[in-house]
Amino acid sequence: MTMIFGIPLQALLGQLLIGLINGSFYALLSLGLAIIFGLLRVINFAHGAQYMLGAFVAYLLLNYLGIGYWPSLILAPVIVGLAGAVIERLFLRRLYDLDPLYGLLFTFGLALAVEGTFRYLYGSSGQPYATPPALAGGMNLGFMFLPIYRGWVVIVSLVVCIGTWLLIEKTKLGAYLRSATENATLVQAFGVNVPVLLTLTYALGAGLAAFAGVLAAPIYQVSPLMGSNMIIVVFAVVVVGGMGSIMGAIITGYVLGIAEGLTKVFYPEASNIVIFVIMAIVLLIRPAGLFGRDA
Amino acid sequence: MAPLLEVQGLNAWYGESHILHGIDMTVGEGEMITILGRNGVGKTTTLRTITGIVRARKGKISFAGTDMMQVPLHKTAHKGIGFVPEERGIFSTLTVSENLMLPPVVAPGGMTLNEIYELFPNLYERRTSSGTKLSGGEQQMLAIARILRTGVRLLLLDEPTEGLAPVIVQRIGEVLKTLKERGMTIVLVEQNFRFASRIADRFYLMDHGQMVSEFPVGELPQRMDVLHKVLGV
Amino acid sequence: MADITETIRTEKSRTALSVQAGFLIIGLLLLLLAPFFFYPIFLMKLLCFALFACAFNLLLGYTGLLSFGHATFFGGAAYFTAYTVKSWGFPPELGILVGVLGAALLGLVMGFFAIRRQGIYFAMITLSLSQMFFFFCLQAEFTEGEDGIQSVPRGHLLGFIDLNSSTNMYYFVLAVFLIGLLIIWRFINSPFGMILKSIRENEQRAISLGYSVARYKLGAFVMSAALAGLAGSVKALVFQFATLTDVTWQMSGEVILMTLLGGIGTLIGPVFGAGLVVTLQNYLATSEFPVTIITGVVFMICVLIFRRGIIGEFYASRLGRKLGFVYRR
**C151: nearest Cα among C164, C133, C165, C141:** C164
- d(CA A283, nearest CA chain B) in Å: 26
* C234 and C155 Cβ atoms separated by less than 8 Å: no
CA–CA separation, A244 vs A247, rounded Å?
9
Q: Is C143 a member of any domain? A: yes
Q: Determine how many CB atoms are found less than 10 A away from the CB of residue C329.
A: 14
Q: How far apart are CA B8 and CA C316, in angstroms?
A: 38
- Closest residue by Cα to residue A119 from A231, A223, A230, A228: A223
Residue pLDDT, tens place only, A94-136? 999 888 889 999 999 999 999 999 998 888 888 888 888 888 8
Number of domains in chain C: 1
A108 and C121 in contact by Cβ < 8 A?
Answer: no
Residue type, B61: I
Contact A248, A242 (CB under 8 A): yes
| Residue C266 placed within a domain | yes
Q: Is A272 on the interface with B (CB under 8 A)?
A: no
Specify whether the CB–CB gap between B161 and B118 falls below 8 A: no
**Contact between A112 and C253 using a beta-carbon 8 Å cutoff:** yes
Q: How far apart are CA A49 and CA A35, in angstroms?
A: 17
Give the model's pLDDT for residue C3: 40
Residues of A in contact with C139 (CB under 8 A): 269
Chain B within 8 Å of A133 (Cβ-Cβ)? Answer: no
Lowest model confidence (mean pLDDT) among B182-186, C48-52, C125-129, C210-214: C210-214
| Å between A271 CA and nearest CA of chain B | 37
**Shortest CA distance to C184 belongs to which of C77, C62, C275?**
C62
- Reported confidence tier of residue C32, pLDDT bands at 50, 70, 90: confident
Domain B5-231: CATH architecture, name and number where available: 3-Layer(aba) Sandwich (3.40)
Whether the predicted pLDDT of C134 surpasses 90:
yes
B92: chain A residues, CB-CB within 8 Å? 182
pLDDT at C198: 86
The arithmetic mean of pLDDT across residues A266-280, rounded, is: 87
Q: B76, A179: Cβ pair inside 8 Å?
A: no
CB contacts of A228 in chain C (<8 Å) are: 249
State which of A279-283, B209-213, C202-206, C258-262 shows the largest mean pLDDT.
C258-262
What residue spans define the domains of chain B? Answer: 5-231
Q: Nearest to residue A21, comparing CAs of A183, A150, A161, A182?
A: A150
pLDDT tens figures, B95-109: 999 999 999 999 888
Q: Which of C73, C18, C99 is nearest to C246 (CA)?
A: C73
Q: Could A190 and B91 be called an inter-chain contact, meaning their C-beta atoms sit closer than 8 Å?
A: no
Contact A117 C121 (CB under 8 A): no
At residue C26, the 3 state secondary structure works out as: helix
In chain A, what percentage of residues exceed pLDDT 90?
A: 57
- pLDDT higher for C1 or A59? A59
CB B83 within 8 A of CB A198: no
Average pLDDT over every residue of A211-224:
92
The predicted pLDDT at position C1 comes to: 37
Span C122-151, average pLDDT: 87
Residue of A186, A187, A198, A293 best to disrupt the B interface, most CBs of B under 10 A: A186
Q: Nearest 10 degrees: CA dihedral of A172, A173, A175, A177? A: 170
Residue B228's pLDDT is 81
Beta B66-67 vs C156-157: how paired, if at all?
A: unpaired
Q: Are 3 or more Cβ–Cβ pairs between B and C shorter than 8 Å?
A: no
- Can you give the pLDDT at residue A1? 57
**pLDDT mean over A71-96:** 94
Q: Which of C140, C157, C104, C148 is nearest to C240 (CA)?
A: C148
DSSP B129: S
Chain A residues closer than 8 Å to B153 by CB:
none
Measured between its terminal Cα atoms, the distance across chain C in Å is: 27
Is pLDDT at C5 greater than 50 in this prediction?
Answer: no
* Residues of C with Cβ-Cβ distance to A244 under 8 angstroms: none
Answer whether B98 touches A (CB < 8 Å).
yes
Q: Compute the distance between CA of residue B201 and CA of residue B193 in angstroms, rounded to an integer.
A: 12
CA separation for the pair B177, B183 (Å, rounded): 10
Residue C327 in any domain: the answer is no
Those chains having 3 or more beta-carbon pairs within 8 angstroms of chain C are: A
Enumerate the residues of chain C whose CB falls inside 8 A of the CB of residue A111.
Answer: 296
Confidence category of residue C7, pLDDT binned at 50, 70, 90? very low
Q: Is the pLDDT of residue B58 over 70?
A: yes
User: DSSP letters of C135-175?
Assistant: HHHHH-TTTTTTT-B------EETTTEETTSHHHHHHHHHH
C4: pLDDT strictly greater than 90: no
Structural domain contains residue C122: yes
Contact A188 B74 (CB under 8 A): yes
Which subunits count as partners of chain A given 3+ CB pairs below 8 Å?
B, C
Q: Give the residue from chain C lying closest to A280, CA to CA.
A: C113
A188 at interface of B, judged by CB pairs closer than 8 A: yes
Model pLDDT for residues A69-80, shown as the tens digit of each residue? 999 999 999 999
Residues A172-185, mean pLDDT to the nearest whole number: 92
Q: What is the pLDDT of residues B6-18, one digit of tens each?
A: 999 999 999 889 9
pLDDT bucket at C44, cuts 50 / 70 / 90 = very high
- Touching, C vs A (3+ Cβ pairs under 8 A): yes
What's the domain range around C203? 4-322
